[in-house]
Amino acid sequence: MAIISPLREDLVFIQELPGFAGNDSNIKVQLLRLDRIHPLISGNKWYKLRYNLEAALALGAATVITFGGAYSNHLVATAAAASAAGLPSVGIVRGWHAAAPNPVLQQCAAYGMQLQIVSREEYDRKEDPAYLAALSARYSSAYIIPEGGANEAGRRGIAAIAAMIPSTITHVCVSVGSGTTFAGLRHALDPGQQLLGFAPMKGGAYLKDTIQSWLGPGPQGTWEITDRFHFGGFGKITAELRAYMADFEQAYGFPLDRVYTAKMMQGLSVLLAEAAFPAGASILAIHTGGLSGN
Ligand SMILES: *Cc1c(COP(=O)(O)O)cnc(C)c1O
């Protein structure tokens, strides 16, 4: 059974960002407007889900279960994509103590996702095989997608994003959460294209080991993760970042999201000011969306 994509891939385009690298620079910066793909599904999320949902259908699963925090773009995307595939979904939500669900969880519920709020201790067992077995037993024939869509099927789906990137691009920039999108890009991009990941959380350099283990030992192109531009930590925002977002929107006429892409673009501005890229570089940053979180 084919899954009908709820996305508008035809609306994705590569946007010029005149002046972003400085007016007299010979470095070109462009943005892949993957944010235009869907109002709620973040640009990269569907690609991580596609082969997971195909596998769920092929295995005859009756439910899809996944994990996320109370503001997780991945939960909403799974709820929407599972609903498009005709599959009921269950979201296991990390400790959220509030009288009413937040807008993100409300959106999940609107897509028919059954939400189970669990303690942080229980949530931490999200990769423990015994816990997952007990969870599957509670639902008949469940297919479990890890947090962030971080599995082989998730990484494989990202090849479709790499295919949107012209071979003339020398450097690709992307925000990093679980690292799944990053690893999928590194697999699928031309090895000559450099890949730079921006971690929006404190101490995000730990992701290097995870990504390295996914990439394996074979030959691969250059890649790097920077965690300099976290602005206080995951989901945190500062007055400086707020001002940056307002200036960006004023200059180019569309917004960045506060959790991921604003931190990446601010970081990219700083790196350009530090002359971190060679003359003649053609940089493509990916606007992964996430705007419903703003
Ligand atoms: C989830 C998300 C990311 C991070 O993707 P990973 O594959 O988990 O690294 C980046 N940007 C946005 C807007 C997201 O929602």
- Tell me the pLDDT tens digit for each residue of 240-256: 999 999 999 999 999 99
- Token reading at 122: 């229980």
Cβ of 177 closer than 6 Å to ligand 1, yes or no, is yes
The pLDDT of residue 4 is 62
67 CA from centroid of ligand 1 (Å): 14
Output the residue whose Cα is nearest ligand 1's atom 11: 288
pLDDT (tens, 9 = 90+) of the chain, 294 residues, equals 456 677 888 999 999 999 999 988 899 999 999 999 987 788 899 999 999 999 999 999 999 999 999 989 999 999 999 998 999 999 999 987 766 778 889 999 999 999 999 999 999 999 999 999 999 989 878 999 999 999 999 999 999 999 999 999 999 999 999 999 999 999 999 999 999 999 999 988 889 999 999 998 877 889 999 999 999 999 999 999 999 999 999 999 999 999 999 999 999 999 999 999 999 999 999 999 988 777
- Tell me the pLDDT tens digit for each residue of 121-147: 999 999 999 999 999 989 878 999 999
* Mutational pocket test of ligand 1: of 32, 73, 265, 294, the residue with most ligand atoms within 8 Å of the beta carbon: 73
Cβ of 151 closer than 6 Å to ligand 1, yes or no, is no
Cβ of 175 closer than 6 Å to ligand 1, yes or no, is yes
185 CA from centroid of ligand 1 (Å): 13
Average pLDDT, the chain: 93
